[in-house]
């Protein structure tokens, strides 16, 4: 650890001496200590001190390159020194009022007491500065070696103080591949409903980190098994549809987790693709609402992609995801079945153009989602689907070279439409633009002369008053 600590020690020790000179304690704490022991060194440092926030500001003002106070109401002062981003938080304990979504902050006086209020023992280790004394009163180091998540004190008290810690357990299971201690799992199951007092934004952040972790399946299973998912992502446990001996269909819950795994395997450079992962997880959430028992023991899910897109938009909006993320994920859910109309390659060039046009900037992700959605154990069927999609991608590539599919526009723009028809701005121009776009998609490149003639024929057929 000493070798690893040398990478951050100069700036940490320097700040530790500054605090010591002012008569205050300072310690590196939490995630940075855990990551240091795991051999990972970042540029973000979390520190804790006995100094109150206003005193911290006095101490660091002349030392730091810049200082910000956005978290000062919660006892945190942020600062930058060189390439390091540092947060200094006063020793504290925080808890939720049973009816409040915001934690009540109370300051503490000792490092050990501050460590006890932290979420898990692996995050309750510290290094005193500038002495570099390692502090581990709650056994975080053995837990780290065992890849175990355990609360410093009774889990009921920890989760009662901050219910969001239950989601953090699932998030760390995904990010670090750790197993949650059985006592904590039991408490999470018994206290799952308590999560509802936490704000949507904080829940969203934890869910997003979980889905973008190294092993999201583990974290998602924990949420479902403990009942937490029923409160924060209820569409997920609802995928566990009852299967009877007369009406058989694929296990939609397991299928969705497998699609997520297979989507992750296609990510570029191992970097998590938030849009792709959420779309893979939610792509079939419309199935429970659209399930119908058909004659002969068949089960159908007609239009589940459309229903699922609406449900995805609603859930992600309620979780306060950015609008562009909501739009992209719900659009992928809506489009995820489109390929299956391709059959064995019967689509016309017009249909291929529309496929590309509808996917827009999501085309590459749609390719990956469609391939990930094949979870059949029938190797022959899987190989046939893969070959067919290869053929579609080859056709898209060929047409893209010939026609610049990504830039498809009508061959006449709005100003040209107005000149041809002799009309001013208004709904007629929009209608004409749509007609020309459909023509472009159906027929490919025609040239302006033929497009102009087609536009005039359209105007005459639709009784458009022209100038």
pLDDT in tens, 297-332: 788 788 999 999 999 999 999 999 999 999 999 999
**Is the separation of the CB atoms in 114 and 94 below 8 Å?**
no
HSE (side-chain half, CA atoms, 13 Å) at 233: 27
**Residue 82: pLDDT over 50:** yes
* Mean pLDDT score of the chain: 89
Q: What is the pLDDT of residue 281?
A: 98
Q: What is the pLDDT of residue 312?
A: 97
pLDDT band at 247 (very low <50, low <70, confident <90, very high): very low
Q: What is the pLDDT of residue 407?
A: 59
Q: What is the mean pLDDT of residues 40-60?
A: 93
Q: What is the pLDDT of residue 446?
A: 81
Structure tokens at 193: 């409903």
pLDDT band at 97 (very low <50, low <70, confident <90, very high): low
**Residue 248: pLDDT over 70:** no
Task: Kindly indicate whether the domain formed by 1-146 is annotated with CATH number 1.10.730.10.
Answer: no
Q: What is the mean pLDDT of residues 384-392?
A: 87
Instruction: Give the integer Cα–Cα distance in Å for 466 and 444.
Output: 26
Instruction: Give the integer Cα–Cα distance in Å for 58 and 21.
Output: 13
Q: What is the mean pLDDT of residues 31-41?
A: 89
Assess whether the previous peptide bond of 130 is cis (omega < 30° from 0).
yes
Per-residue pLDDT reduced to its tens digit, 183-192 = 999 999 999 9
Beta bridge partners of 85: 44, 80
Single out the residue of 351, 352, 316 nearest to residue 331, CA to CA. 316
**Residue 242: pLDDT over 70:** no
Share above pLDDT 90 across residues of the chain, in percent, rounded to a whole number: 57
Instruction: Give the integer Cα–Cα distance in Å for 420 and 440.
Output: 18
φ, ψ for residue 49, nearest 5 deg: -150, 160
Residue, of 211 and 425, whose pLDDT is higher: 211
CB neighbourhood size of 142 (10 A): 12
Per-residue pLDDT reduced to its tens digit, 214-228 = 999 999 999 999 999
pTM over 0.75: yes
**Residue 77: pLDDT over 80:** yes
Q: What is the mean pLDDT of residues 85-103?
A: 75
Q: What is the pLDDT of residue 98?
A: 63
Instruction: Give the integer Cα–Cα distance in Å for 56 and 38.
Output: 30
**Residue 441: pLDDT over 90:** no
Q: What is the mean pLDDT of residues 429-435?
A: 88
Q: What is the pLDDT of residue 224?
A: 97
Q: What is the pLDDT of residue 467?
A: 64
**Residue 244: pLDDT over 80:** no
Q: What is the mean pLDDT of residues 392-417?
A: 78
Single out the residue of 427, 422, 430 nearest to residue 456, CA to CA. 422
Residue, of 342 and 41, whose pLDDT is higher: 41
Who's near 153: CB < 8 A, 6+ residues apart? 116
Q: What is the mean pLDDT of residues 168-181?
A: 95
Per-residue pLDDT reduced to its tens digit, 371-381 = 999 888 888 88
Residue, of 86 and 242, whose pLDDT is higher: 86
Instruction: Give the integer Cα–Cα distance in Å for 435 and 360.
Output: 19
**Residue 246: pLDDT over 50:** no
Domain 147-233 adopts which CATH fold? Hydrophobic Seed Protein (1.10.110)
Q: What is the mean pLDDT of residues 45-63?
A: 95
């Amino acid at each position: 650890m000493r070798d690893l600590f040398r990478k951050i020690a100069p700036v940490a020790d320097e700040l530790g001496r500054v605090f010591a000179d002012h008569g205050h304690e300072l310690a590196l704490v939490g995630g940075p200590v855990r990551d240091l022991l795991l051999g990972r060194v970042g540029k973000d440092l979390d520190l804790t001190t006995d100094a109150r926030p206003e005193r911290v500001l006095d101490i660091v003002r002349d030392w730091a390159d810049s200082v910000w106070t956005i978290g000062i109401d919660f006892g945190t002062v942020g600062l930058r020194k060189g390439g390091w981003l540092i947060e200094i938080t006063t020793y504290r304990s925080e808890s939720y009022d049973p009816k409040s979504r915001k934690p009540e902050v109370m300051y503490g006086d000792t490092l050990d007491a501050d460590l006890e209020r932290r979420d898990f023992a692996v995050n309750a280790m510290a290094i005193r500065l500038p002495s570099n004394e390692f502090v581990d009163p709650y056994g975080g180091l053995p837990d780290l070696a065992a890849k175990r998540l355990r609360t410093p004190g009774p889990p009921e008290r920890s989760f009662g103080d901050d219910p969001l810690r239950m989601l953090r357990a699932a998030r760390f299971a995904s990010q670090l591949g750790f197993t949650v201690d059985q006592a904590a799992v039991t408490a999470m199951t018994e206290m799952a409903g308590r999560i509802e007092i936490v704000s949507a934004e904080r829940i969203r952040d934890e869910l997003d980190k979980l889905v973008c972790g190294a092993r999201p399946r583990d974290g998602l299973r924990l949420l479902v098994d403990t009942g937490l998912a029923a409160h924060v992502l209820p569409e997920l446990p609802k995928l566990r549809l009852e299967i009877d001996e007369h009406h058989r269909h694929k296990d939609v819950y397991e299928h969705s987790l497998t699609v997520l795994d297979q989507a992750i395997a296609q990510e570029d450079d191992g970097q998590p693709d938030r849009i792709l992962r959420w779309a893979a997880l939610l792509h079939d959430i419309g199935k429970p609402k659209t399930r119908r028992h058909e004659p002969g023991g068949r089960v159908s899910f007609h239009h589940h992609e459309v229903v699922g897109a609406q449900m995805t938009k609603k859930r992600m909006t309620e979780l306060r995801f950015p609008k562009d993320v909501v739009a992209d994920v719900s659009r992928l859910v809506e489009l995820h079945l489109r390929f299956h109309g391709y059959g064995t390659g019967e689509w016309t060039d017009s249909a291929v153009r529309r496929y590309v046009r509808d996917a827009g900037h999501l085309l590459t992700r749609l390719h990956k989602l469609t391939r990930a959605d094949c979870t059949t154990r029938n190797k022959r069927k899987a190989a046939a689907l893969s070959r067919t999609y290869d053929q579609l991608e080859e056709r898209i590539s060929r047409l893209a070279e010939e026609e610049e599919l990504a830039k498809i526009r009508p061959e006449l723009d709005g100003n040209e439409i107005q000149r041809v028809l002799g009309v001013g701005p208004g709904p007629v121009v929009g209608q004409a633009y749509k007609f020309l776009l459909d023509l472009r998609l159906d027929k490919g490149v025609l040239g302006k002369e033929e497009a102009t003639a087609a536009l005039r024929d359209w105007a005459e057929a639709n009784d458009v008053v022209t100038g």
